[in-house]
Structures are given as structure tokens and as C-alpha cells.
Amino acid sequence: MARSKKIEEKDRYIESEPIYQPITETIETNYMPYVVSVMVSRAIPEIDGFKPSHRKLLYTMYKMGLMTGHRTKSANIVGETMKLNPHGDMSIYETMVRLTRGNEALLHPFVDSKGSFGKQYSRDMAFAASRYTEAKLDPFCAEIFGGIDKNAVDMMDNYDNTTKEPRLLPTSFPNVLVSANLGIAVGLASSICSFNLSEICDATIAILKNPRTGTDKIMDIVKAPDFPGGGYVIYEPDQIRKVYETGKGSIKLRAKYEYDPNENCIEILEIPYSTSIEAILKDISDMFKEGKLKEITDFRDEIDLKGFKLTIDLKKGADPDALMQKLYKFTPLEDSFACNFNVLIDGAPKQMGIKEILNEWIKFRIGCLTREFMFDLNKKKDKLHLLLGLSKILLDIDKAVKIVKETEKDEDVVPNLMAGFGVDKIQAEYIADIKLRHINREYIMNRLAEIEGLQADISEINSILEDEIKMKAYIIKQLNDIKKKYAKPRRTQVMQATEIKEFDKESLIEDYAVNVFFTNDGYFKKITQQSLRGNSEHKIKDGDFILNEEEARNKDEVIFFTNKAQLYFAHLSDFELSKASELGAYIPKKLKFDDDEKPILMKINPSYDEKQNVIFVFENGKAVRVPMSAYTTQGSRKKLKKAFSDASPVVAAIYEKSDEYILMINSDSKAILIRPSLIPIKTTRTSIGTTVFAMNLKKNQKIIEVLEKYEDRYPEALSRYRKIKIPATGILISDKDITTKQMKIDY
């Protein structure tokens, strides 16, 4: 019981004094290490062009001896790689799949593969299990491993300290810009497109020769990105320059197609790298179902052993080029690759343009070659040292034999040789280990002949290490050799943006005559004339009535002013065809009006010029005319706020026709009839007419109704309520005027 009591007291103490940690400290101590780990250990490539998963896999294959010989089962490679990358066999295998020749994700694959490895252009074409496929390193990998066994890069312990792995691979060309690479870290992403190997080598050589090489020169050499999937890059100079200079931007890609007149079909042979055939087929299928592709009869995936092909069968007389313009517009057959050249430099992410990346690679490559040359230099110096010692016994081989023969103890052989010939311990050890059969003048003379070659090599290496120009010349020679061995023609062709015809969206819209009906409660009907002839009796809600009835074309524009001082834009083609026997589309729902918002004016095909005006009449007796030119907008805008003043509730909006009279009625049943020309024009939309009232109102009076068509209800309006100037005082409506009623009594 006593112990239980102590525990309770301790719990109360903990509850009474909670431990608080500032959010900044939590982020710094808990979150930031995780962020850095994801960036450095997983997602972002380094200057060698590889992420850790790629590097671990390729180095494992290198150590397995897969640069030469036969392929081995992929499962063996995956199993060995787990010694460096313990993230599960499937993640390792998926990494390997993307590096293979069979997957077609890289311009220069690193893995020579056999079996089904899926395809980069298909998300559903699955790769076979690792127990069925085989692989080895492609000969191209000689360019990423050269010097790795000569201390060219740092080695580090693997995750359990049982073996070593390279921090980077000593790539002898700027692989970071040749192999496409995507990675998503925490709060940071990297998206590097691929470039043609030959062009990148030429750009690197240009910078090595002249560090001041500018973007213009690089753009001349590196025409545009080059993707393994082919197709076209739409060349937009400003966008290309932005990507080359900043490492960020978007590049438009297009599919490549051919028209077969014999079969009357389009064959799409190459698609943008950033999409998949499934995404394209889905969009084509959706458009076909919606009736937007009436030019085609069928479409299908015809991928086979010969490669990619998507076939579209056309109707007789269909224009293949016009159809492709439509498909480019509405499907991923034209797509964009978002570039974001984030690369880890010395463990920190850095966004760079092409020149900056190449400068970093040159710095990295010089570092690798310096270490490699130092390794070779030390080896050659050691060998020269041994041979110089050997040269000393050439003067008296018999003496050397005699020293060894007369030495009683094994441990005295080396000291005695050192004393007899004036050599150091290392040289003496080498002399002592020479086999008996090699103690002949021919063998020793042949070995000594190497001295001259070694001295020349050492002198050459020293000259390269001491002279930056010679080091750069050596790199240039390597890059030229790589070009000769591995360069390929561009897969992705360059298409000038000026060559592209802009797609006319209206070509999709059928143009035919319609009748449009708009009711007071906001219901809208678009009816063909044929349907209207069959049944002209309209279904409307109780108390509702048709406000507008107009003849129009299906391609016409329609606008709606609302009681919330907003203007909505649409096209008649946005509305489904209706019948007179239906209520029609409810405009507030169709156009997504705000709460309690109602349309007060509809206009088909409005003219946006200064000669056309909209009249707004407000409850407080004011009115204003706003020219339609005030409602011109940039682009395809759907909604315009503050279309007119909301200082007083709006009673009516009227599209002005010539100078026809309008009738205003107030809450005390008084009316005025005026011409619109009396109402001032305000070029600012939100003007309300601060100095001139249209109708004089007494306290608590307000305008409640404005009519364009008044003759049926008020036939006496023209003679009784007409005013020639404003503000005007209203005349009591005849039906409410007792004097008038008495005069009409028939005695």
C-alpha cells in the first residue's frame, strides 16, 4: 500500500509539472535530421549522377565480376546488394529494372539485361520476377568505374561495418546530365532531364577550354534535352534559356506520328517521356465516349517486339493533321517535363543550371584524376625504387649470390645485402626474393630496361599534376574518346515553337441554331428549333415566367449579371440541350453562384464596345449606365466581381437597346418613364451616380420594379408618366389614382 501511494504521488508530480518543448527545438532535434537523411541517403542525386540506391547496386555488380563474362540471375544480384542496401529485395530490384536496357528509361543503360523488365512508357507493363531475369553490367559502365580501384574516390563502411562501398563513382563523363533522374525528398525534389552524351561532352570541352563560355554558346552546343522515348522537344528559347541558366523550368514534349494512307490510320510511334500509354489511351477513350472524336472509328495499343505503336483508325475523309492537333491539345500526347536540377554538392542540395553543374563536375573529375594519378605515381615510384636497387647487383651478381650463400641465418640475408650493395631494406628484400632461375643477366637486363619507361611515366604524371592545363587536356582527351565509343544520334528531335499551329478550341464545338429561354427564377433552356417545333409548351415552376427568349447559335457567348454585383461568363455550348417539357438548367447551380445569389440579366453574344451599355437601377432611386467595354477581360475568365456598385440593392439590369423608354415604379405606386440617354454614363464599373438621381423618393420609399416592356400593363405610360429630365418625381399609377378612377365612372 505504501509503495502504491508513492507511485500515485509521483504520477501527480509528473502531471503537475509537464515537460514542454518548443516547436523550434522539436524541428531542429527531431525533424531536421530526418529531412537531411532522406535527402542525402535516398532521394537526391550527387555530382556523379547517381542516388545511393543506384550506386550500391552497380558497385555490387562490379565486385561480383559482372563487367565481363555471362549474365547471372537478377535474384543473385539483389541478394548481394542487400549487404550494402538493406531496404528490401523488391526496392533493390525496382532500382535495377530502371537501369536496364530492357526498360528503356535511359539513353545509355548501365545494365545489360535479358528477360522482361517492363517499359518506361507503360505503368501497367510489369517486369518479371528476379528469379526469371538475368543481368550483367553494360560495357558502358567502364566509364563509371575507371579508377575506382586506384583510390579515385573515398570509400566508407557499409551499414554494419562489414565491408566498404564508394561514396561516389568516378564517372569519366558528366553522367548527372546524361542519365535522367527523379527524386522526392522532404520539402525538396529533384527532376533532371537527360541530354545527349555527345552534346554534353562537347559543352564540357568548351568550358574546359574557356571557363567564360556563356549560355548562348552552351545553347548552340546542347540543342535541347534528349529523351530515350524520342518524340519532339518544342523549342521555346526563353524556356530553354531559363532551364539552362537556373536549372528550373518546364519543357514541352510532343509525340511523333505517321499517317498510313493505305490503312487510313495514324500510327503514334514515340510519346513524351513524362507520360504513359495508359494515360493517353484513357483520355482518348473519354473523348471518344463524349463524342469529341467523331473523326475516328477505333484506337488500340499495338506494342510488340518491334517496339512502341499506338494506332488510331480514321473515318473516310478525316484530316489526320487536324485530329492530331486536337489530341495534342486534350491528351498527354503533348506534355511537359518539369525541370528542377537539384544536386547534392558536398552533402548539401544545390539548384544549378547546366554550366554550374558542369563546373562542379569538372572540379569533381579533377579531384578523382588527381587521386588516381597519385596512386599510379606512388606505384611507379615504388617499382622504380626496387629496380634501382636491382641495378646495383648487376655489377656483381656473383657477389650477391656469395652473400646469400655465406649467410648462416635467414634474418641476416637482408642486412648483409644492404651492407654489401648499399641498398635500403625494401630493395634488399626485393633482391633476396628473386628466384634462383632469375639470377641471370638476361632477366636482370630486361627488368632494368623498364627503368627508363618508369622514369618517363613519373615525369609525365608529375607534369599533369603540376599543370592544370595538362589536367584539363587529359579530361578533354577522355571525353573525346567516350564520344567516339558511345555517342548516339539524338532520339528526341527539336521542333521550333513557331512551327506549331495553335489549336482552335471552337473547332470542337458544333455550330447549329438554338432557341434560348431564361425564366425569372433563374432556369435556362437551350432547345433546338426541331425539338421546339415538336412541342412548344414550356414547363415552368408555379409563379415563374419566361424573362428572355432569344434565337442564337450553339457557339455563342452568354453572360449573367446577378443581384450580388457579379458577372458570370459562359458559352451556350457549356449547356446540355433541353426540351420544352423540362425545367432546364438552374443557373445558380450550373455556374456555382454564391449563397442567395440570383441572376437579374442574361445577354447572348454581348458586344464589348463603348456604344453598348448596361443600365443599372437601384432601390435608392439612382441609376447608372456602364459601357460594355468595362467588362472586357483577359483570357477565358468565368467570373467577374464588382461588376457594378453594391452600395444600394440593385432592382434591375437592362441591356440598352437604342434609346427605348424604361418604366420605373416605386413602393408608393408612383412611376416615371424616361429615355436611357438621360442616365449618366460612368466608365468605372462600381460608379452609382453620386450626384443625379433618376427618381425622386421620399423617406422610406424605394424603387421596386423596372420594366422594358410596359405597354400591356400600363398602356397609358407614354402619355401619363413620361419625363424629359431627371431626377423626376413619380406620377401615381392610374389604378391607384382615385381622381382618375372617378373620371372613368360612367354616369
pLDDT in tens, 559-568: 999 999 999 9
Residue 39 predicted with pLDDT over 70? no
pLDDT digits (tens, 9 = 90+) for 563-597: 999 999 999 988 988 888 888 999 999 999 999 99
318 and 366 part of one domain: no
Q: Whose CA is closest to 250, among 191, 292, 188, 195?
A: 191
Q: Distance between CA 658 and CA 612 in Å, rounded?
A: 9
The answer to whether position 251 is within a domain reads no
- Looking at 460, 486, 512, the residue that finishes a domain is 486
The pLDDT confidence band at residue 133, using thresholds 50, 70 and 90, is: very high
The CATH number given to whatever domain includes residue 99 is: 3.90.199.10
What pLDDT was estimated at residue 1?
Answer: 43
The answer to whether position 675 is within a domain reads no
Q: Copy the grid coordinates of residue 63.
A: 565486385
Q: Are 82 and 44 in contact (CB under 8 A)?
A: no
- Looking at 170, 194, 217, the residue that finishes a domain is 170
Return the active site residues: 132
Q: Counting every residue, how long is the chain?
A: 747
Sequence-ordered strand ranges (E) for 91-167: 111-114, 134-137, 155-157, 164-166
The answer to whether position 114 is within a domain reads yes
320 and 368 part of one domain: no
Sequence-ordered strand ranges (E) for 394-522: 493-496, 513-519
3-state secondary structure of 370: helix
Residue 90 predicted with pLDDT over 50? yes
The pLDDT confidence band at residue 27, using thresholds 50, 70 and 90, is: confident
The answer to whether position 721 is within a domain reads no
What pLDDT was estimated at residue 505?
Answer: 66
What pLDDT was estimated at residue 245?
Answer: 96
84 and 159 part of one domain: yes
The residues facing 137 across adjacent strands are: 111
64 and 160 part of one domain: yes
Element (DSSP H or E) covering residue 312 = strand 310-314
Q: How many domains does the chain have?
A: 3
Residue 673 predicted with pLDDT over 70? yes
246 by Cβ neighbours in 10 Å (0-12 / 13-18 / 19+) ranks as: middle
304 and 404 part of one domain: no
- Looking at 466, 486, 506, the residue that finishes a domain is 486
Percent of the chain surpassing pLDDT 90: 57
Q: Which domain holds residue 468?
A: 362-486
User: Averaged over 327-343, what is the pLDDT?
Assistant: 94
- The residue that leads in pLDDT, 348 or 141, is 141
What pLDDT was estimated at residue 512?
Answer: 85
pLDDT digits (tens, 9 = 90+) for 220-254: 999 999 999 999 999 999 999 999 999 999 999 99
User: Averaged over 635-639, what is the pLDDT?
Assistant: 80
Please state which of the ranges 145-149, 260-264, 395-399, 743-747 shows the lowest mean pLDDT. Answer: 743-747
What pLDDT was estimated at residue 747?
Answer: 37
Q: Distance between CA 257 and CA 238 in Å, rounded?
A: 27
The answer to whether position 587 is within a domain reads no
What pLDDT was estimated at residue 745?
Answer: 45
The pLDDT confidence band at residue 688, using thresholds 50, 70 and 90, is: low
The pLDDT confidence band at residue 363, using thresholds 50, 70 and 90, is: very high
Residue 741 predicted with pLDDT over 60? no
Residue 178 predicted with pLDDT over 90? yes
User: Averaged over 647-653, what is the pLDDT?
Assistant: 90
User: Averaged over 294-306, what is the pLDDT?
Assistant: 90
327 and 393 part of one domain: no
- The vertex-279 CA angle with 275 and 283, nearest 5°, equals 130
Q: Whose CA is closest to 193, among 253, 124, 268?
A: 253
127 by Cβ neighbours in 10 Å (0-12 / 13-18 / 19+) ranks as: buried
The CATH number given to whatever domain includes residue 265 is: 3.30.1360.40
The answer to whether position 322 is within a domain reads yes
- The residue that leads in pLDDT, 605 or 143, is 143
The pLDDT confidence band at residue 380, using thresholds 50, 70 and 90, is: very high
77 and 127 part of one domain: yes
pTM: 0.73
Largest CA distance in the chain: 169
DSSP class of 681:
B
